[in-house]
Chains A and B, each alone.
Chain A
Amino acid sequence: MAVSAVTQRPTFSEIFYTSLQKLPDGERVRACLQCGTCSGVCPFGYLMDYPPSKMIAALRAGMFDRVLKTDNVWMCVSCYACTSSCPAQIPLTAGLMTRTKEELLLAGNVPIELQDALENTQRYGNPMGESPRKRAAWARGIEPPVKIMSQINRPVDVLWFVGDYASFHPRVQLSSRALARIFNLLKVDFGILGHEENSDGDSQRLAGERGLFELLVDKNGKVFQKYQFNQIVTADPHAFNALKNEYPKLGVNYPVQHYTQYLCAKLDLLRPLLRHEIKARVAYHDPCYLGRANGIYQPPRQLLQAIPGVELVEMPHSAANSLCCGGGGGGMWLEGYQWEQAHARLSEWRVREAVAIGADILAVACTYEIPRFEDAVKMVQKASRLVIRDISELLLESIGE
């Protein structure tokens, strides 16, 4: 009697494991030593039934469906702490965590707050559901006026990609206005896209919405093509990360700098303008997508040190070891969900660190962070004197405008 080969359909774990290994550097997942470092450094690891190392163990055991049932991968704020400390250099944040979120999202298992942000992004091109026509409203009244590309019909040196929170959040708008004034003082030839700009989509991507990200890349890419400029500058590290690392993979490739890099390169011009002393102990919070994800640690610090009177102090978690504010990877839109699970906010943890080292000012360089930390200040004891400022705001204060 002939025995025919039994073909078994691959299980979900097998399919997922294979798909993970096909990602850039994905095959490294096979080299996981199960050392647990990733789960230990993860700011929410203690809460996850399956932190990264256990996810890999479950995957190897063919039990990944159990991981998906717990849905606490939504606690992952894509902070890159696990990735940057993994001895086997496994792309945990961009690979394992994001792919898992993608699976949950495809299955329709999305916390409602995140769903709103994603639907808003689909509908309006920004996660907060604001009118896209009002995207440039923050710039009203600035002199000389902020130029909108569709209105000027000429090339510019710098295309400023403003980003969602810098465009629409009333508190973050103040830092956008500060940066615009600095650009004006430095006579930067710059323009913005106004209503033609769409969300960069990076946090949506890291929250598992790959298709939406591709749509946004396509939209922004088409708009970039309409205009001539030498480089892009943005104050939003998430937009910076997307434009620098992800857009080129989809054929949208422009030189891009974070504003702290851009201003740092112009420090010779900027320094003479910084005339007013700011006598304060200033702690700088490294945003995940400037620091760990892109290795930019010095320019923001150099700018702060250029301000007369500033004493730069470091918090226990700093530079590559920085602590996430909790806003990444969809965290901005999972506040309620994460509070329910954790009864803790990463932003408050951060504020406590700043208070503990006696900082007067917590300086930030990410458009998610000002409101997050200002909210945290209200919740943390003895933090009421801590002032949260974007670096651009401190620079402008020192200029005395």
Chain B
Amino acid sequence: MNIIVAIKLVPDLVEELKISEEGNSLDLESLRLRVNEFDEHALEQAILLKERGAGRVIVIALDGDGAEDALFTAAAKGADQIIKLTGNPAPLVSNHTLARWLAPVIKSLQPGLVLTGVQAHNDLDGPLGPLLAEYLDLPYVGYVAKAAVKDGEVEIRKEYPGGLAAEMEVDLPAVLGVQAAEQPPRYVAFSRIRQAMKTVQLEGRRIPDLFAEEQITVARLFQPEIGERAAIIAGDVDEIAARLVEIFAELDLL
């Protein structure tokens, strides 16, 4: 069985986010990308399934800064096949668009199970998993925290808010949105990644020109604006503290 993992790169919040001059996207120059953390859990769960004999793991990522590193890292961790989607106009696209691009490739790989992170912090238009399931016409379960494949089914543990959890069986093929793998994503020594770079073949698949455009246009992207009754106090810690005391005094709160 083929276990497909779709990973995506998202803005790394270790750097401050800047808005581009056009004012409708992030400034790509100053942006640093990293693999969505939930996708790392999806990959870990896939490799655990593989280690228990469930099948081969195929990892797909959209081309962009860091995509190759992420794919070779996945190969070093145990993925059998890595694929890069090329021909995209930008490294960051909406999930509707990404799902449309991924679906035909995933379909051609005859998926038994499709895993992806349950969400990402830049899911403007809903998470990727349900959109993929829609385009692939497969069932979807999100917030998965454990999965085991058995006789054409996948047994999963799904988490709900408030600490509730359910165990359920889903017919294969299916799409799962992974919240957490059964164990934290494993560490892979850098020498293994380097070895993968030398020995593992990275496949490229071109996005059909027909679909190559972004489906959603962002009219305006902006930092939170200061509301009427809000103020941002500038200065160092002491100045800010002094000003806060003043304000509390003015409001008769002290």
Contact = CB atoms under 8 A, between A and B. Distances in A.
A214 B195 CA distance: 13
A267 interface: no
A122 interface: yes
A209 B190 contact: yes
A212 B188 CA distance: 11
B14 A108 contact: no
Given A123-B34, A211-B192, A211-B194, A110 B15 contact: no
A112 interface: yes
Interface string A90-133: 00000000000010011010101001001100111000011101
A210 interface: yes
30 contacts: A102-B189, A106-B189, A106-B191, A106-B192, A108-B186, A108-B187, A108-B188, A110-B187, A112-B184, A115-B184, A115-B187, A118-B187, A119-B187, A123-B12, A129-B14, A130-B14, A131-B14, A131-B15, A209-B190, A210-B191, A211-B189, A211-B192, A211-B193, A211-B194, A212-B189, A212-B190, A214-B190, A214-B191, A215-B190, A215-B194
Nearest to A208: B189
B14 A124 contact: yes
Interface residues of A, number: 22
Interface in A329-367: none
A105 B194 CA distance: 15
Nearest to A133: B15
Q: Is the interface of A mostly helix, strand, loop or mixed?
A: helix
B14 A105 contact: no
A162 B186 CA distance: 31
Nearest to A123: B34
A105 B15 contact: no
A119 B14 CA distance: 14
A105 B34 CA distance: 23
B14 A211 contact: no
Contacts of B190: 122, 209, 211-212, 214-215
A105 B184 contact: no
Contacts of B32: 131
A110 B188 CA distance: 10
Contact of B189 (A105, A123, A131): A105
Interface in A179-215: 209-212, 214-215
A138 to B, nearest CB: 16
A129 B188 CA distance: 18
Interface string B1-31: 0000000000010110000000000000000
Select the residue from A110, A123, A209 with max chain B CB neighbours within 10 A.
A123
A359 B191 CA distance: 46
A133 B32 CA distance: 11
Contacts of B15: 131, 133
Nearest to B188: A108
A106 B186 CA distance: 11
Given A108-B186, A110-B187, A133-B15, 17 more contacts: A105-B189, A106-B189, A118-B187, A119-B187, A124-B14, A131-B15, A210-B189, A210-B191, A211-B189, A211-B190, A211-B191, A211-B193, A211-B194, A212-B190, A214-B190, A214-B191, A215-B194
Contacts of A119: 187
A130 B16 CA distance: 12
A106 B188 CA distance: 7
A209 B189 contact: yes
Contacts of A105: 187, 189
B224 to A, nearest CB: 21
Contacts of A209: 189-190
Nearest to A112: B184
A102 B187 CA distance: 12
Interface in B22-51: 32, 34
A209 B193 CA distance: 12
A211 B189 CA distance: 7
